[in-house]
Each structure stands twice: as C-alpha cells, then as structure tokens.
Amino acid sequence: MASNQQTRPGIGDLAKDTANGKLGIVMGEIGGRVQMRPVGGGIEWDAMPDNVVSPKAREELSARLAVRNANTRAGL
C-alpha cells in the first residue's frame, strides 16, 4: 500500500519555505529550525520544519535554470 505522506527534504536538497514562498537549499537543522540558503547563494534563513516542503517540478526547474543562466553570464 502506497503512503501519501511526504518526506521532508534533507540536507543538500532543494526545498520551499511555504511561510515566505522562497526556494533554497537545506543546509542543516539547529534548535528545531531548518537553515536554508538561497539557491544562488547568500545569507541563510531559518524556517520552521513544518513549512519546509519539496518544491513542485516547475518551481525546481525554474530555480535550477536561473542558477544555470547566472553561471553562464558569469562565464562559469
């Protein structure tokens, strides 16, 4: 029997913070909060674990394409 329960993204996974709608990479968990870093780099923010979910396929594709385009413009 298949489970409808989703697992929360782990360290290094792309995730969405539903409280603010931002996508980020899960960096760790400290003090009951999940630390997330913007996909393109930047300052981490704390998210409540219940607000951290896997992004929809379209959101993930958009985020990965934005990083790829930025790297191309930077000559990387």
* pLDDT tens-place string over residues 10-49: 999 999 999 999 999 999 999 999 999 998 889 999 999 9
- The pTM (predicted TM-score) of the whole model is 0.81
> In whole angstroms, what is the distance from residue 65 CA to residue 20 CA?
21
In whole angstroms, what separates CA 24 from the centre of its chain? Answer: 3
> In whole angstroms, what is the distance from residue 60 CA to residue 64 CA?
6
Indicate if the pLDDT at residue 62 is higher than 80.
yes
Of the candidates 27, 30, 18, which has an alpha carbon nearest to the alpha carbon of residue 54?
Answer: 18
Where are the domains positioned within the chain?
A: 14-73
